[in-house]
Structure 1
Amino acid sequence: MDSFLEQTVWQRMERTAKALEQNNMKGYCVKTRADVIPLLKELIAENATVAVGGSVSLDECGVLDFLRSGPYQFWDRYEPGLTREEIEAVFRRSFSADCYLASANAITESGEIFNVDGNSNRVAAIAYGPASVILVVGSNKIVRDLDEAQMRLETFAAPANAKRLSCKTPCAVTGKCEHCHSPARICCSYTVQRFQRVPNRIKVILVQEPTGY
């Protein structure tokens, strides 16, 4: 990224962070993926119970390894050997976590958080439950408005995730949303956080480097 584009992307991030704060959500701007962990150390109290939603961004920023090795009680949905029933139990337990980490499918420049989920555990926890929610979101996910967020989902994020998860859906084959009724459909529950009644319950770390889908 050349310096002129870098400056422009950073300005867009700052506008988005300001819009989030107008909506009672806290916005942070960091330059690189490596800057995420030091900020998380400030935001998550030692011995806190922590859970995560499915997220490529968290993995790319080293968040999962950080939580596993840090001074936290991490309810790890990815722990080897868990049965499907045990994973579902972690999903439900996550609602009582002190802190929940995930990403977003898109963030609008108006400070709206757009998410789409298949199991719906992630969007449900973001909307209500954990006392603190931290979203790690690359600048590549900032969009102008909700229409662009939907377009981004249908033409990029959903097909890529369906391929990653080996879902037997039309979009995994064609590379674009087919508005399917497949049993494996990953676009089941849509949520938009436009405002928070609890100030700063939702915190968004905007990363200048692209992260996730």
Structure 2
Amino acid sequence: MTTFAEPADAEQLERATQGLTDRGFAVQVVDTAEEARKLVADLVPRDKGVFTAVSETLRLAGISADLDESGDYRSVRAEQGERAVAATPDYIVGSVHAVTEAGQVVVASASGSQLGPYASGAGRVIWVVGSQKIVKDLDTGLRRTWEHTLKLESERIERLYGQPSFIAKLLIVEREHDPERVTVVLVREAIGF
């Protein structure tokens, strides 16, 4: 039985890296969340607007705080507030819910605020992805999203707001046309949902 919480093994990580590369994504593999944090700090320019998607991966790695609270970056959240979600930021940094070994990406959302920028609105996209999110195929990626991620996110939201979360919108990214637009930072250790 798949738990969806264990880090991918080296062979599965290599297949996903190759699959993503073949589909037009730039891929960087790091060992730890701290290395991902340092890499993102280097990838995001200080003079460009950056929007951080709500993400446990980013929160746990300290990336959200770096981008939104440090004052070192032009944070869309800090400058314009939570409701002023930019549809076309220079950069968006977030995570995804599943990556297939063939390089497909699955993202679910209750609000959908990150989906437009992920799909085409943002000039550059950076996804930080714990290797436990790597799955065999798209069917397994959708199952992971509905059965695993939604359950954990719902528990988190219920603790904060007294009501469970839900999936209202789902994005499946098959390929990226510009190989410099989307960078996937694969973290060998498990982080996030």
Q: TM-score range by the shorter chain?
A: 0.7 to 0.9
User: Structure 2 residue aligned with 1:98, among 87, 90, 96?
Assistant: 90
Amino acid at match of 2:172: V
**Offset of residue 38 of structure 1:** 2.0
Scaled by the length of structure 2, the TM-score of the pair is: 0.87
Residue identity matched to 2:131:
S
Give the Cα–Cα distance (whole angstroms) in 2 for the partners of residues 155 and 96 of structure 1: 31
CA contact (8 A) 2:88 2:117 kept: no
Q: Does 1:47 align with 2:59?
A: no
Q: Which residue of 1 aligns with 2:66?
A: 66
How far apart are residue 209 of structure 1 and its match? Answer: 1.1
How far off is 1:70 after superposition? 5.4
Aligned match for 2:82, one of 82, 87, 98:
87
Asked if 1:127 corresponds to 2:119, the answer is yes
Equivalent in the alignment of 1:117 = 109
Q: Which runs of 5+ in 1 are unaligned?
A: 173-184
Does the CA-based 8 Å contact 1:17-1:26 persist in structure 2? no
Residue by residue over 1:84-134, the C-alpha shift from the partner in whole angstroms, topping out at 9 and shown as x without a partner, is: xx5222x1x2x2321101100100000011011111111222111110000
Of 54-63 and 12-21, more deviation after overlay is shown by 12-21
Structure-1 residue corresponding to 2:170: 190
CA deviation after TM superposition for structure 1 residue 75, in Å: 1.8
Match of 2:3 in 1: none
Deviation of 1:23 (Å) = 0.7
Could you say which structure has the larger radius of gyration? 1
Q: Distance in 1 between matches of 2:54 and 2:41?
A: 21
The aligned residue for residue 153 of structure 1 is 145
Whether the aligned pair in 2 keeps the contact of 1:104 and 1:113 (CA below 8 Å) is: yes
Letter in 2 for 1:209: E
Residue in 1 that maps onto 2:155: 163
Separation in structure 2 between the aligned mates of residue 35 and residue 24 of structure 1, nearest angstrom? 23
Return the offset for 1:21: 1.1
Letter in 2 for 1:33: A
Q: Is the 8 A contact 1:26 1:202 kept in 2?
A: yes
Q: Deviations over 1:177-207 (max 9, x none)?
A: xxxxxxxx62111111111112231111011
Q: Give the letter for the 1:129 counterpart.
A: G
For normalisation by structure 1, the TM-score amounts to: 0.79
1:199 is matched with 179
How many residues align structurally?
A: 185
Give identity over the alignment, percent.
25
User: Mind listing any 5+ residue stretches in structure 2 that lack a counterpart?
Assistant: 1-5
